[in-house]
Structure 1
Amino acid sequence: MKEIVLITGAGGLIAQELSKKINNDFEVRFLTRNKKHENDFEWDVKRGSIDESALENVSHIIHLAGANISEKRWTAERKKELISSRVDSAKLLLDTVRKKNIKLKSFISASGINYYGTLTSEKIFTENDTQGNDFLSEVVVLWERAADEFEIQNLAERVVKIRTAVVLSEKEGALKKMLPPIQYGIGSALGTGKQYMPWIHIKDICSIYEFALKNSHINGAYNANSPEHTTNENLTKQIARTIQKPLFMPKIPGFVLKLIFGELANALLEGSRASSQKIQNAGFRFEFPNLQNSLEDLLSKKV
């Protein structure tokens, strides 16, 4: 019998790609707001409702649910939603697991590389560094605390927190948003362009989740970003080079982005490096550690 893995955030790119990757080795179920397939189970975090049959005989939960950080301006209401979609969803899972007296083999939660704060510095952050002191850092800290409750309450043998960088995919996310302006000749770096952008190829982030799922020695927090560091300006230039488009527009001033996006602009204008050495020391190997190779793999059809 295959072990059962329950994945939240079913509509997201990582959930879809990851499920394809592990489908041969595990039985995969999804928690979703709208049931579309046989292996879908409905839940509604705002109402605190969940189809409890989703958890029957489950061995692992991969918690990917969470409202998109960069989708809307950070109003007070939006901030609450960003936190609730991560924390309250984890609490609903926790309460249901406890109610059904389930002991999970693992609870693997998405997390964010913004744990260390949104700032530009020459420091390379490791998992031993302390949390930052801005909103995104607060979101991540609360997110991880909610995950840790599974271990604290002895409901999971281990808890893994994947501090995810910007995921590069041609299907959605940052890369897809950056492409059209560059394709039409109006692409440019943001602010100074010197802010670092920790990144990871979609195939590698899915492989990290698979690695965490299959290896019981993986426990705690891990930075999930490729070992090669880049800045916003360099990423923009390499995308243009890969799809063979010129870049001649001036950088977009920071104040313009702040007028458009408000506080959210800080996440675009600031960024530091993070080390992925811990996950590598644990035995993980990146398929796409190099940015140029990653872009060529993702954008070869765009040329």
Structure 2
Amino acid sequence: MRVLITGATGLIGKELVKLFLKNKHSVHYLTTSKSKTEELPGSTGFYWNPQQGKIDESCIYGVDVIIHLAGASIAKRWTPAYKQEIIESRTLSAELLYNLIRKTPHQVKQIISASGTAIYPESFDKVYTEDTTETEDSFLSQVVKKWEESINRFHVLGLKVCKLRTGLVLSKDGGALPVMAKPIILGMGAVMGSGRQMQSWIHIDDLVRLYYRAAEQQWEGVYNAVSPQVVSNAVMTKSIAKVLKKPLFLPNVPEFVMKLVLGEMAYLLFSSKNLSAEKAMADGFQFRFTNIDEALRDLYS
């Protein structure tokens, strides 16, 4: 199998490249930095610039599966200009890939795209599956809707389309976990708000294996990329402190305080998403990390 990966030099992409190469598959990847076209050993890098509509067309030669991870980080202050960048980094890149496949001879059979859990309504108790039609009315929910619409177009080209709605990714090398762990390490950790908000998480090793399984088995449709165990913010915070052997003694942080510090982005700390992982398991995926304490111990061992 030959895969083309966007966002391959990011946190998830780097691990995914390693997994495909380990299993003797060929990897092409796209990068917006010409200096990074030789950054990932064993794979072949190609330059693209979605904002300018530029792409090295040879990136698609011999490719069977596209894995689309590219998108601006949501962990930055959401100014009006940056909100637009969050949307366009996902939709313009998808459009560029769509136009490339539409006009270029190829053998691509499937596209697998990252997606987000923000599309689901807020929930403390109700568990949402991929069949849920209710959606949330928020900025990030709108991002996910436009993101998935840009990927759904690939059906017209005869490709199988798979979307992985990804929860809180746990990795000590980046993403949310180091940000959550830092104040705890400094002795300033605290539960956010009531601490009741549910956090659907996934260990990075399970996430990259999920992408691999989706490509290997040619999955179609939406899958929740989350661990079977969902925990509250209070449980998550206390688990991090326990694994790091640090005390938690500060009072819970009110939501209005974090809104003053982070602006609209504080949504990420107080959003509650309780999602099911049953569909992936029913299709044969076996999670290695289904317990938050075990996942954190593995990452910090």
Give the one of 139, 164, 167 matched to 1:165.
Answer: 167
Contact map agreement 2:207 2:225 (CA 8 A) in 1: yes
Equivalences, count? 293
Q: What displacement does 1:194 show?
A: 1.1
Give the one of 80, 105, 111 matched to 2:109.
Answer: 105
| Structure 2 residue 212 is matched with structure 1 residue 210 | yes
Gaps of at least 5 residues in structure 2 are none
Task: Name the aligned partner's letter for residue 16 of structure 1.
Answer: K
- Structure 1 segments (4+ residues) deviating >6 Å: none
| Structure 2 residue 47 is matched with structure 1 residue 42 | yes
| Structure 2 residue 24 is matched with structure 1 residue 25 | yes
Q: What displacement does 1:101 show?
A: 3.2
Partner of 1:79: 83
Q: Percent identity?
A: 44
Partner of 2:7: 9
Task: Name the aligned partner's letter for residue 242 of structure 2.
Answer: R
| Structure 2 residue 254 is matched with structure 1 residue 250 | no
Q: 1:127-185 CA deviation, whole Å, 9 max, x = no partner? A: 0112222111111111111111111232x1x1100000010000001111111211111
Secondary structure of 2:227's counterpart equals coil
Partner of 2:68: 63
Q: What displacement does 1:299 show?
A: 1.0
Contact map agreement 1:122 1:272 (CA 8 A) in 2: no
Contact map agreement 1:187 1:247 (CA 8 A) in 2: yes
Task: Name the aligned partner's letter for residue 60 of structure 1.
Answer: V
Q: 1:259-303 CA deviation, whole Å, 9 max, x = no partner? A: 112211122112120001001001100011111100110012xxx
Partner of 2:138: 134
Report the TM-score when normalising by structure 2: 0.94
Partner of 2:273: 272
Task: Name the aligned partner's letter for residue 67 of structure 1.
Answer: A
Q: 1:193-223 CA deviation, whole Å, 9 max, x = no partner? A: 111111000000000000001002x210000
| Structure 2 residue 174 is matched with structure 1 residue 175 | no
Q: What displacement does 1:103 show?
A: 4.3
Contact map agreement 2:3 2:67 (CA 8 A) in 1: yes
Matches of 1:219 and 1:161 in 2, distance apart? 8
Give the one of 27, 32, 56 matched to 1:51.
Answer: 56
Secondary structure of 1:5's counterpart equals strand
Matches of 1:94 and 1:252 in 2, distance apart? 44
Q: 1:66-97 CA deviation, whole Å, 9 max, x = no partner? A: 01111x22121111111111111000000011
Task: Name the aligned partner's letter for residue 215 of structure 2.
Answer: L
Gaps of at least 5 residues in structure 1 are none
The more displaced of 136-145 and 200-209 is 136-145
Secondary structure of 1:124's counterpart equals coil
Partner of 1:121: 124
Partner of 1:296: 297
Tell me the C-alpha RMSD between the 2 structures: 1.2
Partner of 2:186: 184
Contact map agreement 1:127 1:222 (CA 8 A) in 2: yes
Partner of 1:281: 282
Matches of 1:41 and 1:205 in 2, distance apart? 24
